[in-house]
Structure 1
Amino acid sequence: MAIDGNGYQSGFGNEFATEAVAGSLPVGRNSPQRVAHGLYAEQVSGTAFTAPRHSNRRSWLYRIRPAAMHGPFSRIDQPRFHNRFDEAPVSPDQMRWDPLPMPESPCDFVDGLYTMAGNGGPAAQVGMGVHLYAANRDMDGRFFYDADGELLIVPQLGRLHIETELGVLDVEPQQIALIPRGLRFRVSLPDGQARGYVCENFGAMFKLPDLGPIGSNGLANPRDFETPHAAYEDREGAAVGKDFELVAKFQGHLWRADIGHSPLDVVAWHGSYAPCRYDLRRFNTIGSISYDHPDPSIFLVLHSPSDSEGVSNIDFVIFPPRWLVAQDTFRPPWFHRNIASEFMGLVHGAYDAKAEGFAPGGASLHNSMTGHGPDAATFDKASASDLSKPDVITDTMAFMFESRAVIRPTVQAVEAAHRQRNYQACWSGLRKHFVAPTG
């Protein structure tokens, strides 16, 4: 039995109000003595109670049973999904990986998570985890929540049907889903299998960046973010001969508890702490119309701020289809070394700084002050191109998780069979062109 979604509400971080059964939302109060239809009132808070109003996030839920109702938790083992970012010294090498292989046996979204890298952790509430997922089975009788961080899910192959406590998100490649910390959900796979990327945000919640001199429009428009209407499941007991299972990620480990009902039983809710989806193809791309390639900050979709003004805990940046018209300019991304660290993925098409080797579903890691940039073939082509004509990049959707801290690869990522051991060879063809002047 699946929850039927009934559309979306527009806006990012808005105060929403929605009910799947008329009359379920209290009027003029949050916690009446008796909630309509015999429901329970429950608040879920994503920020401190005393956070400033502009950044305070919380929602009131009106549900069939409170979230406290489940059995005791016990540790479970999913050795590929974790927050162990200090297992080994971090090499300054550039690293790149082929797509994560699809599982050979039945594997749902949670079991299919594979930790690539990260920094910080949930105890300090700072940093990020970078994970891949590859799955070929629906979450059957199983529900998941991450108490450690907010989840930014970037599908690359196959659609995801995500049923959450607050409604349904349907996302496809070139869309993203944002699931708040602690919110319960399950994932089914309309196409039978799926693969993609997950950024686990341990720090401040993702927000839209300020636009500064860009003005009041551009980049990701708030109205293009979609939050679901209330949808609920009133379901008891067993699924395929077993009781429901609630899986929690808490302080870097997975825990399970028996639960005798579906926790996706919120009949109505109001507030600002809610899941949403966004179509990356709606991003309003900004670029130079005179000279030079601007900083990649102009491709910022969402960021998690840090305690230092202007410096992010995490930046989520995309490289979408766009026109390149700058004159007397090397148009692809330039060679650079960056105090920040960059984990890249490719959702669709080709990335304009790499001629080959970076496939959809693949990933690369360029850590702090490690040199990187276009490969030799891209450099040669761009250096010889006719700049009297614009370049248009149409078949692409790449992204980057960027962090102010070093992104530490896990041992399994460094030793993975799908890691490209010869990645650095892509720069070996860069020739010496310098000729010293004579006389």
Structure 2
Amino acid sequence: MKNWISFPKVEGTASRQAHVRLPAGTYEREMGREGFFGPATQMHHAHPPTGWTSFDGPLRPRAFDLNHVDTMPGCPLEAPALMGNGATQVRLWRFKGRMDHLVRNADGDDLLFFHQGGGHLFCDYGHLEVREGDYVVLPRNTCWRLETDEAVMVLMVEATNDAYKLPHKGLVGTHAIFDPAVLDVPTLDDAFQAQKHERETLVRVKKRGQLCAMTYPFNPLDAVGWHGDLAPVRLNWRDIRPLMSHRYHLPPSAHSTWISSRFIVCTFVPRPIESDPEALKLPYYHSNEDFDEVLFYHRGQFFSRDNIHPGMVTYHPSGFPHGPHPKAYEVAQKFERKETDEVAVMIDTRDPLDVYPAMDGVEWGGYADSWKAK
């Protein structure tokens, strides 16, 4: 535990509670540490904190349309890396067909999010059917392959030299957000038995970012049984029951789904919008001073953004104020929408991310100007 310098004070005209009953004509901005887990102060401004007229340099917010990343490698280990750092690598894999080899990632756990399509995943532990909206966590060095009759688009998030864990749910208990009982594991079913064979099989392995190959005279997916508490798990966003408060807008950390040592993955799913007339009804302006923020948009209309559609990703480096677009803010103030229909995956990283060349041709160059009042 960090012994933060903590002495809550109030200066000038301020609300009594965060995100509730803002002083008339003001815009609230939260300055916080450790994402949304550390100490924070709510500043009240006379102008929108995103009211810049120009924005340039490495702090500039960026947006990309991954629908136009058109490479379709047959091997997920060769999927183009979009962004990353020493703790994570974010990739996009498009594929259709039947993998003719097996893969293993010796660099860390892999989190697969199936944005489009589905199929059949075979691994050391058995067979797992996957569909649109599924997360699949693959423990480090799990051997696997995918078969699909339709094109899939998969967001891959590696926990480099690390593992995925479940978030601590504190006061709300272990069954909140999603009951661990809904996590499915692979089974040694008929489909798994049918894929066994004695033919030569190639296994491609990623280690320290490089690929190597191992060849067996048989199919290594030949388990006859297993027992233990380490296995791949599947979770669909439809099984997530989000925390809600009709009187207070909860921070993104309340929607944490997977935790690694240096980053977290949150899932935003449809929910009622706050109904209390004094409560903010969309994400508040904030300066996330310690975490970079990545949002991948899966489906629906993201209620704090304009001109964002499924398959896009936004990147907000730590250190600048951001929040709802002007039109979205105006709609929220009038309480014109009563519920959200969005599904999005958020990755908050403790270490700065590098954006890789694979993103060069798919960037929306005007994203930083999208906060300008129309």
TM-score range, shorter chain: 0.7 to 0.9
1:314 partner letter:
F
Separation in 1, partners of 2:355, 2:70: 22
**Would you say the 8 A contact 1:97–1:364 is kept in 2?**
yes
Map of 1:403 onto structure 2: 349
RMSD, aligned CA: 2.0
Residue from 357, 361, 366 that aligns with 2:316: 366
Tell me, in whole angstroms, the C-alpha distance in 2 between the residues paired with 1:103 and 1:261: 34
What residue in structure 1 maps to residue 304 of structure 2?
A: 353
The SS at the match of 2:84 is strand
Equivalent position to 1:117, from 77, 83, 90: 83
Aligned to 1:227: 185
Q: Contact (CA 8 Å) 1:128, 1:202: kept in 2 or not?
A: yes
Contact between 2:63 and 2:363, CA under 8 Å: does it hold in 1? Answer: yes
Paired residue secondary structure (1:199): strand
Name the structure 2 match of 1:81: none
Task: Pick closer, same or farther for the CA change 1:295–1:219 going to 2, 3 Å.
Answer: same
Deviation at 1:216, TM superposition (A): 4.4
Report sequence identity in percent: 23
Query: 2:291 & 2:96 partners in 1: Cα distance?
Result: 35
Residue in structure 2 matched with residue 57 of structure 1 by the alignment? none
**Pairing partner for 2:93 from 133, 139, 148:** 133
8 A contact 1:151–1:178 mirrored in 2? yes
Partner in structure 2 of residue 268 of structure 1: 225
CA shift for structure 1 position 426? 1.1
Checking the alignment, whether the CA contact within 8 Å between 1:151 and 1:201 is kept in structure 2 is: yes
Preserved contact between residue 160 and residue 189 of structure 1 (Cα < 8 Å)? yes
1:93 to 51, 55, 60: 60
Distance 1:322 1:273, change over 3 A: same
Per the alignment, do residues 103 and 136 of structure 1 end up closer, same or farther by CA in structure 2, a change over 3 Å counting?
farther
Q: Deviations over 1:51-101 (max 9, x none)?
A: xxxxxxxxxxxxxxxxxxxxxxxxxxxxxxxxxxxxxxx921111111243
Residues 169 and 276 in structure 1, CA contact (< 8 A), matched pair in contact too: no
Q: Does 1:208 align with 2:166?
A: yes
Question: TM (normalized to structure 1)?
Answer: 0.67
Contact 2:300 2:342 in 1 (8 A): yes
Displacement of 1:167: 0.9
- CA-CA distance at 1:352 after TM superposition: 1.3
2:110 to 151, 169, 175: 151
Q: Secondary structure at the match of 2:201?
A: strand
Cα deviation, residue 103, structure 1: 4.0
Superposed displacement of residue 363, structure 1: 0.9
Instruction: Please tell me whether the aligned partners of residues 134 and 196 of structure 1 are also in contact (alpha carbons under 8 angstroms).
Output: yes
Q: Which amino acid aligns with 2:373?
A: G
Q: Aligned runs of 1:286-305 on 2, under 5 Å?
A: 286-290=243-247, 292-304=248-260
Tell whether 2:154 aligns with 1:196. yes
Instruction: Provide the C-alpha distance between the structure 1 equivalents of 2:238 and 2:196, rounded to a whole number of angstroms.
Output: 36
Partner of 2:330: 380
Give 1:93's aligned amino acid.
R
Is the 1:195–1:361 Cα contact (8 Å) retained in structure 2?
no
Deviations 1:144-163 (A, max 9, x none): 00000101100111113211
Contact 1:99 1:359 in 2 (8 A): no
Are residue 426 (structure 1) and residue 370 (structure 2) matched?
Answer: yes
Q: Could you tell me how far 1:289 is from its partner in structure 2?
A: 2.3
SS of residue matched to 1:258: strand
In structure 1, what is the equivalent of residue 124 of structure 2?
A: 165
Which deviations, in whole Å up to 9, do the C-alpha atoms of 1:231-289 show, x marking residues without a partner? 4443122xxxxx53211000111112333221111111111121110111111211222
Do the aligned partners of residues 119 and 186 (structure 1) sit closer, same or farther apart at CA in structure 2, a change above 3 Å counting? same
Q: Measure the CA separation in 1 of the matches of 2:90 and 2:266.
A: 14
Q: Give the residue type in structure 1 aligned to 2:302.
A: Y
Aligned-partner SS, 1:377 = helix
Counterpart residue number, 1:108: 74
Give the distance between the partners of 2:300 and 2:114, measured in 1 at CA.
Answer: 14
- Structure 2: stretches of 5+ with no match in the other structure: 1-56
User: What is the deviation of 1:116?
Assistant: 1.1
Give a deviation string over 1:335-385, Cα, whole Å, max 9, x none. 2111211111011222111122x2212111111113322112212222233
In 2, are the aligned partners of 1:220 and 1:282 still within 8 Å (CA)?
yes
Instruction: Name the CA distance, whole Å, in 2 between partners of 1:204 and 1:334.
Output: 32
How far does residue 205 in structure 1 lie from its aligned partner after superposition? 2.1
Q: Which residue is equivalent to 1:74?
A: none
1:321 CA displacement:
0.5
Matched with 2:52 is none
- TM-score scaled by structure 2? 0.78
Deviations 1:379-433 (A, max 9, x none): 22222336xxx7112x3211101121112222332xx211111111211127xxx
Q: Distance in 2 between matches of 1:135 and 1:374?
A: 34
